[in-house]
Structure 1
Amino acid sequence: MAFDIPRNQILPVDVVDVRLDAEPHPFERDNAEAIAANWAAEKAARPALFDGTVVLLSELAYGDNRLTGRCHAIRYSTFMLWRRLKPVTSAEHAFAHAMLISSDDKLVAIRMGAHTANAGKVYFAAGSFEPEDFRDGLVDLDYNMAREVREETGLDLGTASREERCHALSVESGTAIVRCYRLAATADEVAAQIARFVADDPAPEIEGPVIIRGMDDLPEGLMPHMRPLVEWHFSRR
């Protein structure tokens, strides 16, 4: 299967069958020295980085509105080397995006904190899949999205109205699996709630909220994969 998914297209997804393999990822197994050396340099630049556990794909395919894949638990230090070297034929990254849509049809994103690996970058609150995001070996997208949104913004996705169908956008840097969530509050009200959460958090991951009001209002630092997602949202009006 390897990696067989159309690039740079927003694809409808009704089933996500991405499973966690207990075997080591070949990329981590074969690059121990390079991983250690790169991590030392990353830590020197950003001492707050933590070498926790995330997952990395070894396979991903798309067909019949279905994503099928296999991934392996790796150290974050391994992910950072992969990120520097990509594209790597044996490994790719996937992550879930909760696209937050306010009652006035604006998008609410976040800007990452200066101490993080994506310092200053703007995207929808998200994080890499971790082993806790899997149920009986199968990824639980909604759990991952709810966890990441709660940790970064304090928002509870359980109070939002979600679209049943997901969508996927695969680019060189990874595959974003997106589900739209519609909020009852306006963008300004949601942003104010996030700002209060960040102000009260002793160690916030994000700098703060970013409201995207249209294609003529794209913020500085917007991650490249975000532009087509933003354009897709506003074109669906």
Structure 2
Amino acid sequence: MTSLIIHRVTTLDLAVRPIVWPFAEERRAEIAAHFAEKQRERPKIWNGRVLLGRDAVFTGSHLSATYFEADFASFLAWRDWGFPDKAVFNGFGMGALLTSDGAFVMGEMAQHTANAGRIYFPSGTPDLDDVKDGALDIPGSVVRELGEETGLTAADYRVEPGWHCIVAGPSIAMIQIINLDMPGDVACAKIEANLAREDEPELSAIHLVRGLSDLTPSMPRFVTAFVEQQFASR
């Protein structure tokens, strides 16, 4: 099992730079074949542009790193082949939805997505829409993904300051607690109503986590580690 480290961070400094990724260049033909196979399995996935990180440094309550642009096909191959380039990490923001009665809200990814069946907080691999003034805007990414996946707006929640950065091998999940101004059953009903209005929602189901017994193997380890820590501190 991959060991995890959880850092409490108040500031993020994530510069975006034009960097050539040797893995993507050297294995282009293999990557293209791999992506073609994945598209046969899930025709809805597409080869957009994403941002990956390198050179992450935690100093006190500060995280700095450099991000670069890559195509989704290369990212998918890197992930599926066991992360062969150890200098690169997948660093993304997550909005940990916390209801007024103390439950965490997670979504189950729909079958047409690249992470079908996985259950976690609203999030996504950063892309070019998340770049602001030459830097990766993780707070903006969290708000964007939250709106796209659940339909919730700023009127529904309050964002806690600071980040829980969970380092799990080649991943860094930058988790921010999002306090919902409603209990769990109301939150679920509201999100499910939003999903029902979409032709092809990213989420297929909503899950409430009220205790450790609600955690499942379909939830990534960095998500369950965060939840375990949160419940232990109550």
TM-score for the superposition, normalised by structure 2: 0.94
Find 1:28's aligned residue among 9, 16, 24.
24
Report the Cα offset of residue 158 of structure 1.
Answer: 5.2
Report the Cα offset of residue 167 of structure 1.
Answer: 1.4
Q: Do the aligned residues in 2 keep the contact of 1:25 with 1:58 (CA within 8 Å)?
A: no
Q: Residues 142 and 216 (structure 1 numbering): CA distance in 2 closer, same or farther, change over 3 Å?
A: same
Residues 129-160 of structure 1, C-alpha deviation per residue, up to 9 Å, x if partnerless? Answer: 11111111111122100110111110114542
- Which residue does 1:77 correspond to in 2? 73
Alpha-carbon separation, structure 2, partners of 1:232 and 1:150: 26
Q: CA RMSD in A?
A: 1.4
Find 2:41's aligned residue among 42, 45, 62.
45
Alpha-carbon separation, structure 2, partners of 1:17 and 1:26: 24
SS in 2 for 1:70: strand
- Which residue does 1:100 correspond to in 2? 97
- Which residue does 2:172 correspond to in 1? 175
Find 1:203's aligned residue among 177, 200, 203.
200
- Which residue does 2:13 correspond to in 1? 17
Alpha-carbon separation, structure 2, partners of 1:131 and 1:53: 7
Pairing 1:214–2:231 present: no
Pairing 1:186–2:183 present: yes
Q: Residues 158 and 61 (structure 1 numbering): CA distance in 2 closer, same or farther, change over 3 Å?
A: farther
Q: Do the aligned residues in 1 keep the contact of 2:107 with 2:120 (CA within 8 Å)?
A: yes
Q: Which amino acid in 1 is paired with 2:65?
A: G
Unpaired runs of 5+ in structure 1? 1-6
Q: How many residues align?
A: 231
Pairing 1:128–2:129 present: no
Alpha-carbon separation, structure 1, partners of 2:82 and 2:155: 35
Pairing 1:162–2:159 present: yes
Report the Cα offset of residue 236 of structure 1.
Answer: 2.2
Alpha-carbon separation, structure 1, partners of 2:228 and 2:209: 11
- Which residue does 2:59 correspond to in 1? 63
Alpha-carbon separation, structure 2, partners of 1:161 and 1:235: 22
Q: Residues 173 and 115 (structure 1 numbering): CA distance in 2 closer, same or farther, change over 3 Å?
A: farther
Name the % identity. Answer: 27
List 4+ stretches of structure 1 deviating above 4 A: none
SS in 1 for 2:101: coil
Q: Which amino acid in 1 is paired with 2:167?
A: S
Unpaired runs of 5+ in structure 2? none
Report the Cα offset of residue 215 of structure 1.
Answer: 0.6
Alpha-carbon separation, structure 1, partners of 2:24 and 2:70: 7
Residues 39-92 of structure 1, C-alpha deviation per residue, up to 9 Å, x if partnerless? Answer: 111111111111111111132121212111111111111110010123322321
